[in-house]
Amino acid sequence: MTEENTTYEKKANDFLTKTGVKLEIKYVKHDFYFPSDKEKRDIYEFTLSKGNRKYISTFGNSIFNSGFYFTVGKKKYELERKWLGTKNLIYICKTVYSDFNPRTDIIHKPVPPGAYDILACLTKYDAGSFENFCSDLGYDIDSRTAERVYKDVCKEFEGVQTLWNDDEIEILAEIQ
């Protein structure tokens, strides 16, 4: 993790602590997340809670930080997540592919999202009317996808408002 990333993560965690919000992140699956995805990514469920108030949603991690696999040349071999963290990972890779060479072949381990990743992606502003939403983001007003996205954005903002007041949401908006 770079120094800049560490700073962003610290700011996000400090914000959660200051506002009394707890964040839990749990791996769900490796699959397609967005309708336009051409590659699978790691999908996580996150829960933000403050007292008896909660907001639960999902997060599609970046493709770069997703997946547990090794490559031999251009060929990719998926590994079972149960092996993540095992000390005998090189032995397992050699078992799956006998020509695996730990000097030249690459083992890719997933990097789970942190507080910054989750908080930076949250909706921090009221989306307004459906018509304005479509106009602002270039959606077709007759699109079912646009309607679904609009409803999801509105629901997310309601979740944000459940946990934080207007002043805190302004601070949250500055985290990204």
For residues 19 and 40, membership in a common domain is answered with yes
Pair (31, 59) in one structural domain: yes
Per-residue pLDDT at 3:
61
Torsion of CA 69, 58, 117, 29, to 10 degrees: -10
Q: Round to whole Å and give the CA distance between 60 and 66.
A: 9
Judgement on whether residues 54 and 75 belong to the same structural domain of the protein: no
Statement to judge: residues 24 and 47 lie in one domain: yes
Single-letter residue type at 113: P
The token duo for 54 is 């909660």
Q: Write the DSSP assignment of 33-51 as a string of letters.
A: -STT-SS-EEEEEEEEEET
- What is the DSSP code (8-state) at residue 81? G
Structure tokens at 70: 């090794």
- In terms of domains, do 50 and 116 share one? yes
Q: Which structure tokens are listed for 42?
A: 């790691």
Examine the domain organization and report whether 171 and 122 are in the same domain.
yes
Pairing mode of beta strands 106-108, 75-78: unpaired
Task: Please give the torsion angle defined by the CA atoms of residues 68, 71, 75 and 79, in that order, rounded to the nearest 10 degrees.
Answer: -30
User: Distance between CA atoms of 151 and 156, rounded to whole angstroms?
Assistant: 9
Q: Give the whole-angstrom CA distance, residue 29 versus residue 68.
A: 11
Indicate if 122 and 54 belong to the same structural domain.
Answer: yes
Q: Are residues 84 and 20 in the same domain?
A: no
Domain count, the chain: 2
Among residues 83, 108, 133, which one ends one of the domains?
A: 108
Domain match, 117 and 58 both: yes
Q: What is the pLDDT along the chain (176 residues), one digit of tens a residue?
A: 556 668 999 999 999 999 999 999 999 999 999 888 999 999 999 999 999 999 999 999 999 999 999 988 888 899 999 999 988 899 989 888 888 888 888 999 999 999 999 999 999 999 999 999 999 999 999 999 999 999 999 999 999 999 999 999 999 999 87
Domain range enclosing 30? 3-64+111-175
Question: pTM score > 0.85 for this model?
Answer: yes
Q: What local confidence, expressed as pLDDT, does residue 2 receive? A: 59
51/34 same-domain check: yes
Same domain? 93 vs 124: no
The predicted pLDDT at position 1 comes to: 57
Q: What's the one-letter identity of residue 155?
A: K
